[in-house]
Amino acid sequence: MEINKDVFIQQGILDCQIDQLISFSQTDEEVKKDTSDASRFKDRHSFDQWLEQGKIIYTLTDKNNNLLGIIWFGQKKPPIESDTNFTFAIRVYPPARGQGLSFDFIKFVFDDLLKSKHKSEINGFWLQVSPDNFAAIRTYEKFGFKKVDQKNNKIIMVLNI
């Protein structure tokens, strides 16, 4: 799927993009500050272990298949009382960050996922976000996520379907 003439969305992740994901996880200060990606994706082995948990991955790329962003879902109960059962996470990396691509990326991915074979397994989505990540919180709220709790210095948001 083409977002614009230079940005595309694809399901899955290419080998070269895994290496870029690992690099961003170790060097991108915003990702390091707001996520646990530095340990989650510290090397290829840790990525493979994470992937074995049954993640559903979409990537945002340029025309040369460079990784610009990633969204993943995983079946997991939230740390609060809720019927939601799928986690949701998004990262947008430089040079795509700040260009207003997140909402269109999220919209396409959710539409695609809810048409897929996984639809019958999904009760709703949840995420955790740092309270000072205002741009992300605005994007999630615009998409329909609601703040429901705060634990361990993270806001928990849910989207019921």
- For the segment 18-43, what is each residue's pLDDT rounded down to a tens digit? 999 999 999 999 999 989 999 999 99
Secondary structure string (H, E, C) spanning the chain = CEEECCEEEEECCCHHHHHHHHHHHHHCHHHHHHCCHHHHCCCHHHHHHHHCCCCEEEEEEECCCCEEEEEEEEECCCCCCCCCCEEEEEEECCCCCCCCCHHHHHHHHHHHHCCCCCHHHCCEEEEEECCCCHHHHHHHHHHCCEEEEEECCEEEEEEEC
Band (2; pLDDT cuts 50, 70, 90): low
Whole-angstrom distance, CA of residue 8 vs CA of residue 10: 7
pLDDT in tens, 124-140: 999 999 999 999 999 99
Give every CB contact of residue 26 below 8 A, 6+ residues apart in sequence. 32, 38, 41, 42
Closest CA to 34 of 109, 98, 89: 89
pLDDT in tens, 6-21: 899 999 999 999 999 9
Give every CB contact of residue 91 below 8 A, 6+ residues apart in sequence. 24, 31, 35, 37, 69, 70, 71
Average pLDDT value for the chain: 93
Instruction: Give the chain's radius of gyration (CA, Å).
Output: 15
**CB of 75 within 8 A of CB of 86?**
yes
Domain covering 2-160 assigned CATH 3.40.630.30 in the classification: yes
Whole-angstrom distance, CA of residue 15 vs CA of residue 32: 22
